[in-house]
Chains A and B, each alone.
Chain A
């Protein structure tokens, strides 16, 4: 059915591709593994567009008041679509990010929904063809109609997002009536740290609650599952942009040196016509002394050599994501059946079956012993 939303995996590669498919090219997702003070140390505050927090949802009394999103100028949508909460949380972050080009789809979506209340905004997400299409492109193709009851074991996972808006951190949760104010961001500090403190509190409360509910202690602890991701500026783009700047600047510096009869070994050819507007001009450079220009050249060369491995690593990461995503989207059932046929041909399938049965029965016995 076309208006159904599939469940998607919480994974930086999946989310990054999802954004790209919606038309947001300038972001990527980074998984945050620690909630310690150093968690965001290597991320620049203005390049963190939002934090996406995944957790096992439980009903709990939440005394925190919700605010009126429209009064604050925050995009806020209530969640009305099953399985859409990841996409919903991501959109909430993107649509509130200042200075981020969200591409034509989301720009027109934001304009279209500007006068709508949070519930209608949520419905609008469900009705947006480009968004749903991007989301559903992660549906695993399957040869069989499968009843999805995986999350039906009673576990509901939910995504919320944290954003910084006009110097304040807010939590946007599609199951609430509006944004929740978290903290003021002191000048000169990284806003993400305020969100981090809130998350620490939240996880602690959650842990205590789970411990208090007792009985299934060990199991409960194992089920403490959280996942935190930061939406940050596309590192590949940023690094490539910085390298390009350094190359243009070095080129100008070289020309400036040549014009002063300095011996220069030109290693790099760039067309100065394409240079960005905000690097020093030839006139700026002419005012500087030769040693200062030489220092610029050296500095640029250093920057380029520092950033090249970043580009390489990011490219590698993207290749890995692409490969993983193509597997996610592929129908691997024919492959599995093909493997079974060949095992059968070689007379190894029944042997594998017998071995599997043994393992399976042992697992059941262990489980019973554990629960007895």
Chain B
């Protein structure tokens, strides 16, 4: 398939490149993507724009290609002590992309990040709570909850990902998996469940009051409850529920946010149970 061979290197000026993998963010946790990757920042000869690219090194193909205009920067995730995790942030939006370093040594991490940020030239907003400077090398930070085996003190995130997957697949759909895949709201509030409320007068009249003018009647309500737009709102809400906004959400529903304290398990489950125990007639 020579016709479709991807060029190893784009034409243009490369500012910085280093080996790094992606991490996927499910709204609650980041999990390392095991693929070997590379981050590349270059100004394209073709369009004269600065491109941020993430490449799959095995397939030698560009997976992510973003155009940056003085609006992106890489930031070390201080909280992540078990690997060298970085977040690509944008000053122009809330977009976030997560990465983990795959360079064999930590020596050049800071230098690469500095080069990257200087080349993009974004104004990096100051952190409200300045943590320890990013200078501390990752190796110095020992994982707080060390794995039982002594040898895994500085466990490779790639290996960790494999291990995690192995363990969860061995343990079946256990608690570990439930954490990795938060329960989506659309699975709980299915169209069928939502439409069961159509026979409840009190529920209908309140819900109709919340609809846009175009749908303010019983028929409109039935339509909205089955609409893809509501499904979309539920997906957004799923993220909110599984994020640090859960206390805000609980408070706005008149529920006591302290129910989260010390609770484990799925955030949506927590919310549903708290609502029912408070509101059930």
A residues engaging B (CB < 8 A)? 1, 3-4, 57-61, 78-80, 82, 119, 140, 142, 144-150, 152-154, 156, 175-177, 205, 208-209, 212-213, 322-324, 326-350, 352-353, 355-357, 359-361, 364-365, 368, 372
Q: Is B200 an interface residue (CB 8 A)?
A: yes
User: Known contacts being A152-B97, A213-B59, A327-B227, is A353 close to B268, with CB within 8 Å?
Assistant: yes
Known: A153-B24, A336-B185. 18 other contacts (CB 8 A): A4-B93, A59-B53, A82-B66, A144-B237, A146-B240, A149-B96, A208-B1, A209-B1, A212-B4, A326-B213, A327-B224, A327-B230, A332-B230, A333-B236, A339-B225, A340-B275, A350-B276, A364-B178
Q: Is the CB of A347 within 8 A of B276?
A: yes
Residue of B7, B25, B188 touching A352 (CB-CB under 8 A):
B188
Which residues of the other chain, A, contact B27 by a CB distance below 8 angstroms?
147, 149
Contact of A61 with B279 in the complex, beta carbons under 8 Å: no
Question: Given A82-B92, A156-B65, A340-B272, A347–B224 Cβ distance below 8 Å?
Answer: no
Complex Cα–Cα for A345 and B200 (A): 11
- Cβ contact within 8 Å between B49 and A335: no
Kindly state whether residue B183 has any CB partner on chain A within 8 Å: yes
Bound complex: CA A250 to CA B172 (Å): 77
B49: chain A residues at CB < 8 Å are 78, 80, 119
B69 near A80 (CB under 8 angstroms)? yes
Q: Chain B 242-281, CB within 8 Å of chain A: the 1/0 string? A: 0101001100010000000000001011001101101111
Q: Are B214's CB and A336's CB within 8 A? A: no
Closest Cβ–Cβ distance, residue A370 to chain B (whole Å): 12
A342 to B281, CA, bound (A): 10
B22: chain A residues at CB < 8 Å are: 154
Minimum CB distance partner of B200 in chain A: A342
Known: A80-B67, A339-B203, A347-B276. A61 touches B210 (CB 8 A): no
Kindly state the separation between the CA atoms of A78 and B49 in the bound complex, as whole angstroms: 10
Q: Is B123 an interface residue (CB 8 A)?
A: no
- B211: A residues at CB distance < 8 A: 330, 335
Spot the interface stretch: B109-117, B138-146, B153-161, B189-197: B189-197
Are B189 and A352 closer than 8 Å at their CB atoms? yes
11 contacts between A and B (CB under 8 A): A80-B67, A140-B229, A147-B243, A332-B233, A333-B237, A336-B185, A339-B225, A345-B279, A345-B281, A353-B188, A372-B169
Most buried by A among B5, B97, B169, B272: B272
Residue pair A344, B280 in contact (C-beta under 8 Å):
yes
Q: Is the CB of A61 within 8 A of B7?
A: yes
Restricting to B45-84, which residues have a CB under 8 Å from any CB of A?
46-49, 53, 59, 61-67, 69
Q: Which residues of B contact A364 (CB under 8 A)?
A: 173, 177-178, 181
> Number of contacts between A and B (CB, 8 Å)?
218
Question: Does B202 sit at the interface, judged by CB under 8 A?
Answer: yes
CA of A338 to CA of B106 in the docked complex: distance in angstroms? 51
Q: Which residues in B have their C-beta under 8 angstroms from that of A78?
A: 47, 49
Q: List residues of chain B with CB within 8 A of the CB of A347.
A: 276, 280-281
Residue of B nearest to A356 (CB): B188
Closest to A324 in B: B229
Is B31 interfacial (CB-CB < 8 Å)?
no
CA of A145 to CA of B244 in the docked complex: distance in angstroms?
11
Knowing A327-B214, A328-B229 touch, does A343 contact B193 (C-beta < 8 A)? yes
In the bound complex, residues from chain A placing their C-beta under 8 Å from that of B90 are 82
Q: Is the CB of B64 within 8 A of A156?
A: yes
CA–CA, A144 to B225, complex, Å? Answer: 20
In the assembled complex, the Cα of A359 lies from the Cα of B181 at a distance in Å of 13
Asked if B212 is at the interface (CB within 8 A of a chain A CB), the reply is yes
B187 an interface residue at 8 Å Cβ cutoff? yes
In the assembled complex, B102 has its CB within 8 A of some CB on chain A: no
Q: Please give the distance in Å from A167's CB to the nearest CB on chain B.
A: 28
| Cβ contacts under 8 Å, A59 to chain B | 6, 53, 61-62, 65
